[in-house]
Structure 1
Amino acid sequence: MPGLHESIPMIILKNVTLRRGSKVLLDSTSVTLNPGEKVGLVGRNGAGKSSLFAVLNGTLHEDGGEFSIPAQWRMAQVAQDMPETEQSATDFVIEGDTTLLAAQLEVTAAEASDDGMRMAHAYMALHDAGAHDAPARAQALILGLGFSVAELDRPVNSFSGGWRMRLQLARALMCPSDLLLLDEPTNHLDLDALVWLEAWLKNYNGTIVVISHDREFLDSITNVTLHIDNAKLVRYGGNYSKFEDMRAEQLILQQAAQAKQQEKIEHLQKFINRFKAKASKAKQAQSRVKALERMEKIAPVLADAEFQFEFKEPSNLPNPMLTMSEASFGYPAMDDAPAGTPPTVIVQNVSRSVLAGQRIGILGANGQGKSTLVKTIAGALQPLSGEIITGKGLNIGYFSQQELDVLRPDDNPLDHMIRLARDTPLALRPSYKECCEQGLRNFLGTFNFSGDMVKQAVGSMSGGEKARLVLCMIVWQRPNLLLLDEPTNHLDLATREALSVALNEFEGSVMLVSHDRALLRSVCDEFWLVSRGGVKDFEGDLDDYQVYLLDEARRRREEAAAAQKK
């Protein structure tokens, strides 16, 4: 790594060129990042965001130009491997503190050397590294990221993959650092953990470079936006929304004469005006009005996105869509459980209806039962008691968090669509033209699956491409009720915006679980709160909900501290 301007504590790229194979990702581009800046790294998929991260962490070297980073800076990032260890969650996260780990090793070596002076220095360094409060610091991180007090001592390998990745994130936050690299840190988080992470990062004193497709997360923590555009690094002062504003102004100047662009903008304008007029004056709906006004402001940026789609008009709209009567939700006892083992009840005594055209955001802290509620409405689980009465002609489109795992890795998108067409009851199938192979190919093309991609094995696709395929399959079915459980986890910003526009134009009902607050704000007119075994209306807006989540997180930490003292 060249020692350019070593005396200046900043990250400098000067005329850097970066290639992956024959593709030029960065072409003789320059940028400077200053100490303490919080940088959002954005750009289309494949633009080179992850490759630039690899340059920053030293695993990839520039092909031309000069790159420097202060030699004394300590770096932290989230390990991408799935940890396999019997260590407790607490001990695993403590080991992320590399300074403490080094101090502990020095104490062991000093004690073995029988050198009194060395031992004195080693004990002092151990104290300075925070050995006395390391367990408390680690547990605060673990609890903040959504784990329960009972899980603090559980072995790491007893958790599912998503929870183990949360522990990797906690481990990275535990590491003392001057530069923190975060690549999609929100992917495995619920909204409560996301709100906590934002608060933590706001108090971080070092430099952050983050790749994220969550616009509100970027808005909350970043003050610089670095855009990879046409193999150049373009620096903007401000968060993601400020970047969009400036980019929208540029695009207006560049593309004012393009008829196609104007057509897209006019289409956006039409739907924005329509839904602004329809939105109620309730506090919750005001967030949606503001989100639509935001879309109006950045219409050129949205129109510039390479991907758009729409939900077809449902063939009918039963009203109510469904009615829950004294329904309880949870999981039956396992087949191998002792006789008489009761089911696990998570949410109970729910009596509610979902009406035609309702747009409901489902809120609730981690583990309260949001996904269980949605799974049961979708029919993937049966109610433990009570009943769910469905309206005549109800046709549910369900996006599950695990939906991507259900795709067959050896099959291609066309195989999936042919199977879907074959398995869909005749009464619910679209026209023959849309069910024949060419019709299915054409439909896949509207979701950017064209040419050879329709024959590409799903197992070789990215998470974003798999999520797009699942959305494609749902749209093809022409549902009148959409149940969406974290649909944006693998979607880039452009596809998230396309989903937001499509959901706003959708004529049916929507029930949405998401940690993407921008999506919740722009789509939902009302919120249900799943909490402490029940479901009730949440009267506030998403800002009020964030306060509620922070209060809940504080309560959990206080419970953990009290448990430690016993």
Structure 2
Amino acid sequence: MSLITLEALGMALGAPLFSGLDLIIQKGDRIGLVARNGGGKSTLLRILADRAEPTAGCCRYGRNLCVTLMQQDPEPAALSLPVREVLLQALPAESRDWEGWRVDVALDAMAIPGALHDRPLGTLSGGWQRMALLARAWLTEPDVLLMDEPTNHLDLQRIGQLQRWIAALPQDTALLVASHDRAFLDTVTRRTLFLRTTAPVEFRAPYGTARASLAERDEATARRHETELRQATRLRQQAAKLHNIGVNSGSDLLNSKTKQLRERAERIEAAARPAHRESPAVQIRLADGDTHAKTLLTLDAVTVAAPDGRRLFRTGKLRLHPGDRVVLLGANGTGKSRLLGLVTEAIAGRPHPGLTVSATVVAGICDQSLSHLRPDEMVHDAVAGRFAVSDQRVRTLLATAGFAVERQGQRVAQLSGGQKARLAMLILRLQEPNFFLLDEPTNHLDIEGQEMLEEELRQRDGASLLVSHDRRFVENVGTRFWRIDRGTLAEVDDPQGFFSAMMAPG
């Protein structure tokens, strides 16, 4: 049964975001929404939730339909309210007194600890805020649930919980989820909508299968377009020959035939559909520095402790060599980022017992908070102030990273998460490191950016030490895996055992 029907839907905010979107959302649908950052995913969800008006086309809704949007972030007004009050406001005002028990059920379903129920929403971590927003959305008993980047800020344990929660949704509930988490989309969706500036494309398959089908479709379109243009060129060449003969002979028949060939060529050219081409919103490129060292990092009975001195784990003897892409695996709080911090300190000349870094290491460091970016700095100065390159070169580099000239005068603090990530990756490239230290590098990157980063890391000769919750990124990039388990860091063959353990019911 049709719940929402979109007909030739389009949206432009200065420039077009998408157009010509036809889509039918039916009971029980599980639809993944995929687009680059700034490609209109959140805008489309807001249109479906009746919070924004399209600039073209229309939405038709079923009778008495409840459509609920789970946004990426809480409204500012909600941040100062206790978590329980935020959820209570999702209930009709007239029934809150006698339906308040539903709030407690929703909080329990999301495994939100009782100690957090009366705390202001803004004091919770990003992950707990996300679970509270999901609980609030579910209290509305939606027929259609819209989810905007629901896995942001969630660790693997919470992602596993979210996947199980979605699997247990009533069969009639439709779900439309915008996400950059490829593994999550493969698990929870059965249809995929690729949102494009023109001609959005839908496949009745989860993301991975749909992406392969999309690539085949684009390649077939490109081949067909080239064939049609070659045919049009041949017709024009024939028309030109007949025209010359007709002029010399004065034949009306030849002149008429010439006109017919030209008109046919024009029809073919007008109908020829070019392959999908969108200039990338981001160019992620990395560069290698040289090293002749056989070992870049050695860990020999290293003790890693929390800031308060509490021991987190101890390592055996492990070495990292040029070309290795080592992924650190471990639950939140086990000390992954602490180890990266110790390596960073050793590179800066503050060694730690048992941890040795080669003197040839040129490090490219990117942590979760992108702390090497200074919020008050201008985008232009973030590059010009670090590297000896001309002003024109700086502007060109920033443009290739997706920063138009008018944006290069913005302060870093004004950038979106995705823009900050692109700037960080540009700085990383210009450092020409031979050893990448990356802590959650795909945070804020769209799928296009993730794939570019994966390809760059695979092509580089430099080594990497990585921390990531992105399952596809870990699988696609990692060549070795070090797992923190029961207070010990040791090498394992692959990440699957860790993923399964982390995402299993608690």
**Fold shared, TM-score > 0.5 on shorter chain:** yes
2:423 paired residue number? 469
Picking from 344, 349, 354, the partner of 2:320 is: 354
Partner amino acid for 1:472? L
1:273-312 per-residue CA deviation (whole Å, 9 max, x = no partner) reads xxxxxxxxxxxxxxxxxxxxxxxxxxx9999856444322
2:79 paired residue number? 84
2:216 paired residue number? 249
Picking from 182, 186, 196, the partner of 2:161 is: 196
Kept in 1, the 8 Å contact 2:163–2:188? The answer is yes
Structure 1 segment 117-516 matched on structure 2, within 5 A: 126=99, 131=101, 135=104, 137-142=106-111, 156-161=121-126, 163-173=128-138, 175-205=140-170, 206-256=173-223, 307-333=282-308, 343-349=309-315, 351-379=317-345, 386-403=353-370, 406-421=372-387, 435-516=389-470
- Give 1:68 deviation, angstroms: 2.1
- Give 1:97 deviation, angstroms: 6.3
Q: Is 1:549 matched with 2:502? A: yes
Partner amino acid for 1:171? R
SS at match of 2:386: helix
1:236-255 per-residue CA deviation (whole Å, 9 max, x = no partner) reads 21111222222212221232
Kept in 1, the 8 Å contact 2:364–2:428? The answer is yes
Flag the 1:33–1:161 CA change in 2: closer, same or farther, 3 A. Answer: closer
SS at match of 1:367: coil
Kept in 2, the 8 Å contact 1:94–1:171? The answer is yes
1:435-468 per-residue CA deviation (whole Å, 9 max, x = no partner) reads 3434434433442335334333333322211100
Aligned equivalents of 1:189, 1:420: Cα separation in 2: 33
SS at match of 1:142: coil
SS at match of 1:219: helix
SS at match of 2:23: strand
Kept in 1, the 8 Å contact 2:285–2:425? The answer is no
- Give 1:85 deviation, angstroms: 3.8
Flag the 1:255–1:305 CA change in 2: closer, same or farther, 3 A. Answer: farther
Picking from 19, 23, 32, the partner of 1:31 is: 23
Flag the 1:344–1:313 CA change in 2: closer, same or farther, 3 A. Answer: same
SS at match of 1:379: helix
SS at match of 1:448: coil
1:14 paired residue number? 7
Aligned positions, number = 452
Flag the 1:15–1:439 CA change in 2: closer, same or farther, 3 A. Answer: closer
Kept in 2, the 8 Å contact 1:190–1:366? The answer is yes
1:50 paired residue number? 42
Structure 1 unaligned blocks of 5 or more: 1-7, 108-125, 260-299, 334-342, 422-431, 555-566
Kept in 1, the 8 Å contact 2:398–2:408? The answer is yes
1:156-177 per-residue CA deviation (whole Å, 9 max, x = no partner) reads 4443455434433343345532
SS at match of 1:386: coil
1:74 paired residue number? 66
Flag the 1:176–1:319 CA change in 2: closer, same or farther, 3 A. Answer: farther
1:286 paired residue number? none
Partner amino acid for 1:503? L
Aligned equivalents of 1:44, 1:68: Cα separation in 2: 26
Aligned equivalents of 2:360, 2:45: Cα separation in 1: 50
- Give 1:135 deviation, angstroms: 3.6
Kept in 2, the 8 Å contact 1:345–1:384? The answer is no
- Give 1:513 deviation, angstroms: 1.4
Partner amino acid for 1:473? I
Aligned equivalents of 2:359, 2:121: Cα separation in 1: 47
Flag the 1:258–1:28 CA change in 2: closer, same or farther, 3 A. Answer: closer
My pick for the range that moved more, 508-517 or 40-49, is 40-49
Aligned equivalents of 2:495, 2:376: Cα separation in 1: 44
- Give 1:396 deviation, angstroms: 1.6
Aligned equivalents of 2:311, 2:44: Cα separation in 1: 47
1:16-46 per-residue CA deviation (whole Å, 9 max, x = no partner) reads 34343x4344445432111110111123333
Flag the 1:64–1:136 CA change in 2: closer, same or farther, 3 A. Answer: closer
SS at match of 2:195: strand
CA-based RMSD of the aligned residues comes to 3.3
Aligned equivalents of 1:94, 1:450: Cα separation in 2: 41
Kept in 2, the 8 Å contact 1:31–1:233? The answer is no
1:521 paired residue number? 475
TM-score w.r.t. length of structure 1: 0.71
Flag the 1:28–1:323 CA change in 2: closer, same or farther, 3 A. Answer: closer
Aligned equivalents of 2:358, 2:224: Cα separation in 1: 49
SS at match of 1:12: strand
Picking from 91, 98, 104, the partner of 1:98 is: 91
Flag the 1:169–1:484 CA change in 2: closer, same or farther, 3 A. Answer: farther
1:488-534 per-residue CA deviation (whole Å, 9 max, x = no partner) reads 11111111111110010011111221122111111112222223333
Partner amino acid for 1:254? T
Partner amino acid for 1:469? L
Kept in 1, the 8 Å contact 2:5–2:60? The answer is yes
Kept in 2, the 8 Å contact 1:362–1:530? The answer is yes
- Give 1:409 deviation, angstroms: 3.5
Kept in 2, the 8 Å contact 1:327–1:386? The answer is yes
SS at match of 1:73: coil
Aligned equivalents of 1:156, 1:384: Cα separation in 2: 40
1:532 paired residue number? 486
- Give 1:134 deviation, angstroms: 5.6
Partner amino acid for 2:159? L
Structure 2 unaligned blocks of 5 or more: 227-274
Higher normalized helix content (fraction of residues): 1
Aligned equivalents of 1:327, 1:301: Cα separation in 2: 52
Kept in 2, the 8 Å contact 1:329–1:384? The answer is no
Partner amino acid for 1:84? L
State the identity %: 27
SS at match of 1:511: strand
- Give 1:482 deviation, angstroms: 0.9
Flag the 1:534–1:384 CA change in 2: closer, same or farther, 3 A. Answer: farther
2:238 paired residue number? none
Aligned equivalents of 1:351, 1:301: Cα separation in 2: 50
- Give 1:402 deviation, angstroms: 0.6
Flag the 1:304–1:257 CA change in 2: closer, same or farther, 3 A. Answer: farther
